[in-house]
Amino acid sequence: MERVIIKTADGSDSLYVKDLNEHYHSIHGAVQESQHVFIDAGLKYISARNKNISVLEIGFGTGLNAFLTFIESSKVDLIINYTALETYPLEMDLIEKLNYAECLNEEKDILKTIHACDWEKEIAVSKNFILHKIKNSLQKIILSDLYDLIYFDAFGPNVQPEMWTEELFSKLFSALKPEGVLVTYCAKGEVKRILKRVGFDVESLKGPPGKREMVRATKK
Ligand SMILES: C[S@@+](CC[C@H](N)C(=O)[O-])C[C@H]1O[C@@H](n2cnc3c(N)ncnc32)[C@H](O)[C@@H]1O
């Protein structure tokens, strides 16, 4: 699948997938969206009660969510065990062209290190951030650990409906600890109904710039 770098409205890069006619992030701002949905509504919400957090990301992609989580872990001294699933890892030469370090005023090497980490191994990227990247699909993987927080960042339900099913959300519900939380940028009515059916308490929160709503779902 061919991926092309595009510039989003906040100046940060994203990728466009021609075959799917879909972007990796919101065209209204990639960094803004990831910060708002995954860090502010997810990580900061959980870290108010717990400093030792296990995160599962569905769709590692550019590594932007991992990078932002790494930054937050060192800023406020969290211990993060970060597991990320990805079926189609990106090439390093594409990663090196993304401007996230520049946008965030961070060392470029960190994003590169995150991508260079071996797959299927737990790697301490820092004393605060342990990364376990898994090259497998959500459909096939057996999730035997329990997580505090899930970043659900698959392609949208219009282009990848097989990721937004009751079966997969039920699998994710089982992979959360009690009071664990799943956050996603998608607030479609049908997605919220599925989340409720599998047992989540569903909140519609204000979305990032350019999007009305996002969803935070809690396993009560
Ligand atoms: C919206 S994009 C990723 C966004 C990513 N979090 C980022 O910040 O770049 C969705 C990602 O999910 C991956 N993906 C597609 N199908 C998948 C599956 N069945 N299981 C896990 N990941 C999948 C895609 O390859 C893509 O990298």
CATH number at residue 115: 3.40.50.150
Locate 158 and state its tokens: 């219009």
pLDDT tens, residue by residue, 142-196: 999 899 999 999 999 999 999 999 999 999 999 999 999 999 999 999 999 999 9
The CA distance from 171 to 31, in Å, is 28
The one-digit pLDDT tens for each residue of the chain (220 residues) are 899 999 999 999 999 999 999 999 999 999 999 999 999 999 999 999 999 999 999 999 999 999 999 999 999 999 999 999 999 999 999 999 999 999 999 988 999 999 999 999 999 999 999 999 999 999 999 999 899 999 999 999 999 999 999 999 999 999 999 999 999 999 999 999 999 999 999 999 999 999 999 999 999 9
Is residue 19 a part of any domain in this protein? Answer: no
The CA distance from 148 to 154, in Å, is 19
Out of 24, 26, 64, 67, give the residue to mutate to test ligand 1, the one with the largest number of ligand atoms within 8 Å of its CB: 24
Residues 6+ away with beta carbon under 8 Å from 34: 25, 64, 65, 68
- Predicted confidence at residue 108, as pLDDT, reads 84
As a residue count, the chain comes to 220
Burial of 171 (0-12, 13-18, 19+ CB in 10 A): middle
Q: Which amino acid is at 122?
A: E
Is residue 41 a part of any domain in this protein? Answer: yes
**CB–CB of 191/157 below 8 Å?**
yes
Run of H or E including 101: helix 100-104
Residue ranges making up the domain that contains 123: 29-218
Is residue 205 a part of any domain in this protein? Answer: yes
Is residue 201 a part of any domain in this protein? Answer: yes
What sign has the CA pseudo-torsion 161, 66, 4, 37?
positive
Tokens 């659900």 belong to 152
Total of domains in the chain:
1
The CA distance from 156 to 149, in Å, is 20
- Residue with the smallest CA separation from ligand 1 atom 24 is 59
| Residue 154 DSSP class | P
- Residue with the smallest CA separation from ligand 1 atom 19 is 137
Is residue 8 a part of any domain in this protein? Answer: no
- Predicted confidence at residue 1, as pLDDT, reads 82
Is residue 14 a part of any domain in this protein? Answer: no
Is residue 118 a part of any domain in this protein? Answer: yes
| Closest of 72, 86, 99, 131 to residue 15, by C-alpha | 99
Is residue 87 a part of any domain in this protein? Answer: yes
Beta bridge partners of 58: 85, 152
Pocket of ligand 1, beta carbon within 6 A:
24, 34, 58-59, 61-62, 64-65, 85-88, 137-139, 153-155, 163
The CA distance from 24 to 14, in Å, is 6
**Distance between Cα 186 and ligand 1 center (Å):** 14
